[in-house]
Amino acid sequence: MLTFTVEKTDSLARLGTLVLPHGTVSTPCFMPVGTQGSVKTLTPAEVMGTGAEMIVCNTYHLYLRPGHGRVQAAGGLSKFIGWDRPILTDSGGFQVYSLAALTRVTDRGAEFQSHVDGSRHLFTPELVVEIQEALGPDIAMCLDECPPYPISRPVAEAAAARTSLWAERCCRTRKPETNLFGIVQGATYADLREESARALVALDLPGYAIGGLCLGEASNVTYEMVGRVTPLLPAERPRYLMGAGYPEDIVASVRLGIDMFDCVLPTRNGRTGTAFTASGRVAIRNSKHADESGSLDAACDCYTCRTFSRAYLRHLFVVGEALGPKLLTLHNISFFQRLMQGIRAAIGRGEFESWTSRFLSRYRTGADPAEKEKDR
């Protein structure tokens, strides 16, 4: 149900092809986030138009609303949401920790109160696999324990150990056709990360994710952890860095051998008025754009950039029109897809390092000063 082929490598960077039940995905790939079964503000047709081949939905959210049984009865998640391409469902471990009121975590599972109505639920590794199998994604994720950053070593150690224990149980309960990925935890402790990776690899899963990073730690720490884990993961399996991220983080992680990415950045920042462009981030509300007849990103051929001026986009945000967030989201996801296309082409040519230098040099120099300050 999953075939992954590394077509070419350039140092540690990999150009790959991931074949899944709903289609084929070229890697390294960036998966837009459609938490509740919708990539916010966009139609599935618009998401496809950006070149995105796979999206991420969320088990925690879809379990609460509309309910996995309802989605299953509707013919599965792809059919229900009108996205006829691969979907990965995150397990909900992260949301249980970040969004719900977590009441208790034991080896049995995570007890939480719904952020919607306060109702009490228990996510066990078995239930989370069952929910995902009802949703019917192309890739499902093991339940993990994902504590916030920073945490002490004992807490990190316990969370990583429990994540490994839960992965074993997810593995035992899954149906043979379920493409279940494990999630490496261990916070910012390199030896815990390595131990976590080894435990998961022993389960011989079809793919491996690195979770619990990009939570506020310094970039060099993120990269160090990724660099410690990837060599331990089997070369012939896809590697997924969860929650990354910024274009700088993506190129740095591809360089360390990561194949798959997801992040809310292009959608969330698009909604709040920040655009990613070839020459850096642009805060579209800035008054300097009020009379700018030029497009958002001269290097972009998305509908937003082909059709509208910065002045009009700014106007939409200033007056609070819903079209503004939608047009910037569309552009941002197009930008991330073009970034991945550039990365893949560069690896294919064996020029990943030089391409990255050129990309970053342009991306870093042109940004709005106010936006630069936000860079990590």
Binds its own copies (CB under 8 A): choice among 8, 65, 120, 358: 65
Q: Which residues are catalytic?
A: 90, 262
Asked whether position 123 contacts its own copies by CB under 8 A, the answer is no
- 307 binding its own copies? (CB under 8 A): yes
Residues 66-85 that bind its own copies (CB under 8 A): 66, 70, 73-75, 80-82
For strands 260-262 and 239-241, give the pairing. Answer: parallel
Nearer to its own copies, 82 or 348 (CB): 82
Upstream peptide bond of 150 is cis (omega within 30 degrees of 0)? yes
Binding status of residue 293 toward its own copies by CB under 8 A: yes
Using the rule CB under 8 A, which residue among 26, 43, 219, 279 binds its own copies? Answer: 43
Token pair, residue 168, equals 């074993």
Task: Find the binder of its own copies among 41, 89, 163, 274 (CB under 8 A).
Answer: 41
Binding residue (CB under 8 A) for its own copies from 102, 122, 322, 345: 322
CA-to-CA distance for 217 and 187, rounded, in angstroms?
10
CB of 270 to its own copies, least distance (A): 11
138 close to 205: Cβ distance less than 8 angstroms: no
Question: How would you class 248 by CB atoms within 10 Å of its CB: exposed for 0-12, middle for 13-18, buried for 19 or more?
Answer: middle
Q: In angstroms, what is the minimal distance from the CB of 124 to its own copies? A: 24
* Separation between Cα atoms, residue 41 and residue 46, nearest integer Å: 10
For position 272 contacting its own copies by CB under 8 A, the verdict is no
Given a contact cutoff of 8 angstroms between Cβ atoms, the answer to whether 141 and 90 are in contact is yes
Which neighbouring-strand residues pair with 10? Answer: 13
Nearer of residues 70 and 372 to its own copies, judged by Cβ? 70
Of the residues 243, 325, 334, 344, which one makes contact with its own copies according to CB under 8 A: 325
Does residue 231 touch its own copies according to CB under 8 A? no
Q: b or e along 9-31 (b: 16 or more beta carbons within 10 Å of the residue's beta carbon)?
A: ebeebbbbebebebeebbbbbbb
Give me the DSSP letters along 7-30.
EEEETTEEEEEEEETTEEEEESEE
Instruction: Say whether residue 326 binds its own copies (CB under 8 A).
Output: yes
Q: Which positions touch its own copies (CB under 8 A)?
A: 36-38, 40-45, 61, 65-66, 70, 73-75, 80-82, 290-291, 293, 303, 307-309, 311-312, 314-316, 318-319, 321-323, 325-327
